[in-house]
Amino acid sequence: MARTRKAAAAAVPAAPAGDVLVTGFEPFGGEDVNPSWEICEGLAAAIGHARLHTRRVPTEFRRAIEVVAAAIEETEPALVILLGQAGGRAALSVERVAINVDDARIADNAGRQPVDEPVAASGPAAYFATVPIKAMVAAIREEGIPAEVSNSAGTFVCNHLLYGVLHFLAASGRPARAGFIHVPWLESQAVTRPGEPAMALATMVRGVEAAIAAALATPVDVKMAAGSLD
């Protein structure tokens, strides 16, 4: 569902016409909060000329894709930014690729635990995100916030949703660009996990807004080394 958010963020370079859909997940795995949705609730109502729409997504295989596909049909966005929790990561991780496999270490919130199943039986092995991932990482870092390009979105509902949304957009011929940002635990979640990384909610909101602004302003990604050695 859409939420009322604070006033528009600071001015950004002129953006292409069109709205932005940002999604976050409900809590899962025994947690009572999910930072991805908390970020959605804290986002500006608009960035530049683009209005932001938010949706809370069930942490469920298949249902997550259905909810976001319906939101895309409803809001007709130019940009889709999916957010998800990646406890243990220390930076905002902009995902490069989604793979066509579900391999769940734990059950989703509906009790489903697919193992070695395709997201889409007739789909390609993988999709690359269609947002400018490196420009987004650079914009987050310019805010003084840790950020990285990630080459694995996992094999749980986050990867499932990114793959499913990219597959839906490709199959329907919609021009929207789409990508995924994994976010760390909130500081409150890390209280019972001594030594584990966490990030303040306000910091993550600022980083995601910077990433959205960069995606809107960057039609072709920048050339920047951001790979990994492992």
Q: Provide the β-strand partners of residue 6.
A: 44
Q: What is the pLDDT of residues 17-41, one digit of tens each?
A: 589 999 999 999 999 999 999 999 9
98 token code pair: 């989604």
Which SS3 state, helix, strand or coil, does residue 211 take? Answer: helix
Q: What is the pLDDT of residue 115?
A: 98
What class, spelled out in words, does domain 20-217 have in CATH?
alpha beta
Q: What is the pLDDT of residue 229?
A: 72
Neighbours of 14 (CB within 10 A): 10
Low-confidence ranges of the chain (pLDDT < 70): 1-17
Q: What is the pLDDT of residue 226?
A: 87
Q: What is the pLDDT of residue 22?
A: 98
Domain extents in the chain: 20-217
Maximum alpha-carbon separation in the chain: 47
- Residues 6 or more apart from 143 whose CB is under 8 A from it? 206, 207, 210
27: left (phi over 0), alpha (psi -120 to 50) or beta: beta
Asked whether 147 and 141 are in contact (CB, 8 A), the reply is yes
Q: Which residue has the tokens 């306000």?
A: 202
* Residue from 53, 160, 167, 182 carrying the catalytic annotation: 182
Active site residue 74: no
Neighbours of 107 (CB within 10 A): 14
* Residue from 38, 158, 167, 209 carrying the catalytic annotation: 158
Active site residue 49: no
The candidate with the shortest Cα–Cα distance to 61, out of 153, 180, 156, 126, is 156
Provide the CB-side half-sphere exposure for 11 (13 A, CA). Answer: 2
* Residue from 95, 160, 167, 209 carrying the catalytic annotation: 95
Relative to beta strand 97-99, strand 126-128 is antiparallel
Active site residue 95: yes
Asked whether 201 and 42 are in contact (CB, 8 A), the reply is yes
pTM over 0.85: yes
